[in-house]
Amino acid sequence: DWSLFKMFSRTLTDACPLASQSKVYVDISPKNKDKELLEVTPSPTSLHEAVVQGEKRTYAVYDLLSPMLFNTSRSLNVQLKWKRPQDSSELPIPVLHAQRYVSGYGLQTGEISTLIHNTHPYRAFPVILLEIVPWYLRLYVHTLTIITKGKENKPS
C-alpha cells in the first residue's frame, strides 16, 4: 500500500497560492490488462489517458484548485491500496519449495534441517543445495541423512 502521508510524512493541505494550475497526477495504469489490482482513494477529480513510449497510460488527476477537493476534508492524502485476491486459488502454488530450521542445541542434539518439497504430480527436478553455516558451527558429514519418500538414503 502507498500514500502521500507514508512517503512524505504529511498530506497536501492546499494548492500553491501563486500557481494558476496545481494538479497531482497518479499513474494508475494496470500492468495486467484483465484485472485492476489497485484501488485509489479518494476519488480523483478526473481521469487522464495518454500514450507514453507507445503504451497507453491512465492517470488519476487531482486538481488542487478545485473547491470540491478540500471541501470534504482539510487535507488530501492520495492512497493506493492493493486489492486482495478474493479467491486463494488465484495464488500460484510453488511446485518446488524448501524450508530450513534449527533444532536442539550443542554437539549431541543440535541439528540443521532442510526440507525440500516437490509437489509436482510426476516430474522430478534436479536440485543443487548450498548450505551456508556460521564458521563457529562444527559440521559432521557422517551424520548427514537423506530421506526420500520415507526411505533413508546414505550419501556416497
Q: How many domains does the chain have?
A: 2
pLDDT tens readout for residues 38-52: 788 888 889 999 888
* Same-domain status, 65 and 106: no
* Same-domain status, 81 and 102: no
Q: Tell me whether residue 21 is in a domain.
A: yes
Range of the domain at 18: 2-85
Reply yes or no on whether the pLDDT at 71 is more than 80: no
Would the pTM of this model clear 0.95, i.e. be above it? no
Task: Confirm if 1 and 81 have CB atoms less than 8 A apart.
Answer: yes
Burial of 60 (0-12, 13-18, 19+ CB in 10 A): buried
- Three cell numbers, residue 18: 501563486
Give the integer Cα–Cα distance in Å for 33 and 69: 30
Query: How would residue 8 be classed by pLDDT, with cut points 50, 70 and 90?
Result: confident
Give the length of the chain: 156
- Three cell numbers, residue 87: 479467491
Helices within the chain (DSSP H only): 4-8, 106-109
* Same-domain status, 140 and 69: no
Q: Tell me whether residue 13 is in a domain.
A: yes
- Three cell numbers, residue 122: 510426476
**Pick from 72, 53, 66: nearest CA to 24:** 66
Q: Tell me whether residue 65 is in a domain.
A: yes
Helices within 24-129 (DSSP H only): 106-109
* Same-domain status, 102 and 56: no
Q: Tell me whether residue 60 is in a domain.
A: yes
